[in-house]
Structure 1
C-alpha cells in the first residue's frame, strides 16, 4: 500500500485554459491538441522551444543531463501502433539534451476511466491508478528519475507512477514533468509558454483543498 500523503516536485512548460475566451486561451487549446495528437512538425517545434537557456534553468529541478525520464502510460493498455504522447515527449527531451535516457518502465495492466471525460469528483484517485499500473525492475545508471506526461491537471496519475517506481527503486529521487498544465480554475491564460515549478501533493486527494494549477 503506497503512502496516502506524499509529495513530488513538478515542472511544466506551458499552460492552457479549458474554457477561456481570449485569443491566447483559444490558441492554448490548439497547442494542447497538437501535443495530445503528436502532430508533427508543430509538435517538434514546440519541444524545440524548450532548449532556450532560460527554460532549461527554470526546469532544472525536474530535467537535466543526469535525469532518466519514464513516460506515463495512457489510461488503457497500449495497443500495437497506438499513440503514446508521454513516450514521444520523453524521447524528444533526450534527443535535445534535456534528459539522459528514456526508460519505458511503466505499463497499464488494465484500463481506468479517462480523467478528461470524468465528471467533477469522479476522477480516478492515485490509488486507482496505482492498482492499474505495473513497473518492471530496471538497472539504471542514475538516481534522478522524472515521470513524463503530456498534460497535468491535478497529477493523480503522475503521483501513482512515482509510487510504482518507488516500489522497485526505493532509493531514487522521483519528480514529474508535464509539457502542459491545465488552468481550469482561471478564466484565461496570459501566456502559453510559461515554465512553472511546483509540487504534486497527495494530500489534495484526501481533503477539500483545491489550487489554481494542479
Structure 2
C-alpha cells in the first residue's frame, strides 16, 4: 500500500493558495482540502442565524453542530454543502469575508475544525491549504509551503475574484479588508498565521498560477 502523503499550503488572504492547491492536487492525483471554506461555512451559518460575532459560545456550538460536507463535483471542483445545500458561492460573499477572521480566532471553533481536518487528511494523500496547516493542523506534513504576495497584488486578485462571481465591490474596500484580515490572523492567540519553520516560502507576486504550481511540483518531486 502506498503511504499517504500530506502537503500543507499556508498563506495570507488572496495569495493564490486555493488556485495553486487545487491545481497541485489535480496534477498529483491527491484530494484537495480547503480549510478556509470550512471556516467560511461556519461564519455563513452564524450570519444566517444572526449570531453576534463576539458570542464565542454560540459560534463554537455552530462549529460543533453544523452539517458540513466537502464534495468533489464531476469537474473536479470542491463544493461546500451545509445540510445538503450547496453554499460554495454564498460563503465567498463580502459579508462572510469581513467576519471569517473573527470566527476563526475562537479556540472552540478552531479545535472542532482542526479535528475534522485531521480526519480528512487521515483518509488519504491530500493537499490541504489554510492559515495554520503546517504549524498546527498537520505539523508532520511531508511538504510545507507558505505562499505570499504583496498586499496590492492580493487585493487585486480578490477584487477580480469577487467581480467574477457577481459581487460589486470597491478595490479600496478590498485592500482594507485584506489588511485587517492579515492583522487579525497574524495576531490571534491560537494558531496565528505564520510560516512553519520548515516551510518553503514562495512569493507569488507577478507569477501566474501555472508558474507557482510548477515551482511547488519541482520541490515535491525533488524529494
Q: TM-score range by the shorter chain?
A: 0.3 to 0.5
Greater share of helix: 2
What TM-score results when the alignment is normalised by the length of structure 2? 0.32
Higher strand share: 1
